Amino acid sequence: MRRYLIAFGIVACTLPIHVSRATDYDLTKDRILEVVGTAHLDTQWRWTIQQTINEYIPNTLRQNFQLFESYPNYTFSFEGAFRYMLAKEYYPRDYARLADYIKRGRWAVCGSSLDAGDVNIPSPEALIRNILYGQEFYKREFGVSSRDIFLPDCFGFGYVLPTVEVHCGLKGFSSQKLTWGSAIGIPFDVGVWEGVDGSQVIAALNPNPYVSRIRSDLSKDKRWIDTVEKQGKLSGLYVGYKYFGTGDVGGAPDPESVSML
């Protein structure tokens, strides 16, 4: 029997990949759309870091806490260990609550790095250290580690990146930036990215914008049904991967999207 299932997804980490209340999946038969809620935050862009500390960090924490309490199946993914460090320093009570949500599998640490950043110009040594410092913080503070590079809003990904990931014990990669003018288009939606030395990671390259909102039943959305069917015919696994949420200034996905999902 063919089943179309929508799962609240979390990006690859040491927590379970599927956090929905559905039964076990058979990706060779069931059609699965993993939907990842996130809130991209530029630590410093068109604002000072003081504004990030005073406004964007507490907004991200408290708006998601509110969604956790309102929607028991909601999960959230957030990258950049440096933002967690700011939360610990400036909002210790919220930070303690955050740690509990991480322990319960509601909030997923992702991205692995100390902070999201360019992966073209920095040397492999710099990329590895960025991951090392981020992962050590996650392990020390929460007893978990991220298993992916999560870069929804960075441009360009050099062919050394899979090698760096595998060296650091990472398994996944995702970004929506290939839709912003990739020289070769989007090679696949979900597949294996092989680096110059043969290192391989699972990559989601077409997850839609991280600022997407949900206003309809995705299990009946022809676009996503067709996307999952195409993926199944190409790979034998019927799965899709979709971002939704907000961007640049942190915060949380809008409640209507979470309610609809």
Q: What is the pLDDT of residue 8?
A: 64
Q: What is the pLDDT of residue 252?
A: 98
Q: Which CATH number does the domain housing residue 111 bear? A: 3.20.110.10
Q: What is the pLDDT of residue 53?
A: 98
Q: What is the pLDDT along the chain (261 residues), one digit of tens a residue?
A: 565 666 666 554 333 333 344 457 899 999 999 999 999 999 999 999 999 999 999 999 999 999 999 999 999 999 999 999 999 999 999 999 999 999 999 999 999 999 999 999 999 999 999 999 999 999 999 999 999 999 999 988 989 999 999 999 999 999 999 999 888 899 999 999 999 999 999 999 999 999 999 999 999 999 999 999 999 999 999 999 999 999 999 999 999 999 999
User: Degrees (nearest 5) of the Cα angle 43, 118, 180?
Assistant: 95
Two tokens at 182?
């990739």
Number of structural domains (the chain) is 1
What are residue 228's phi and psi, to 5 degrees? -70, -40
Q: What is the pLDDT of residue 14?
A: 35
Q: Which domain, by its residues, includes 256?
A: 4-260
DSSP assignment of the chain equals ---EEEEEE--SBSS-SB-SS-----TTTSEEEEEEEEE-B-SSSSS-HHHIIIIIHHHHHHHHHHHHHH-TT--EEEE-HHHHHHHHHH-HHHHHHHHHHHHTTSEEEES-SSS---BSSS-HHHHHHHHHHHHHHHHHHHS--B-EEE-TT---B-TTHHHHHHHTT--EEE-SGGGGT-TT----SEEEEE-TTS-EEEEE-----TT----S-GGG-HHHHHHHHHHHHHHS--EEEEEEEE-SB-----HHHHHH-
CA 149 to chain centre: 8
Q: What is the pLDDT of residue 127?
A: 97
Model confidence pTM above 0.85: yes
User: Degrees (nearest 5) of the Cα angle 193, 198, 202?
Assistant: 25
Residue 176: exposure state from Cβ atoms within 10 A (0-12, 13-18, ≥19): buried
User: Degrees (nearest 5) of the Cα angle 28, 11, 247?
Assistant: 125
Task: Name the β-bridge partners of 242.
Answer: 35
What is the identity of the amino acid at 78?
A: F
Longest dimension (CA), the chain: 54
Two tokens at 78?
């957030």
Q: What is the pLDDT of residue 25?
A: 84
Two tokens at 242?
């979709």
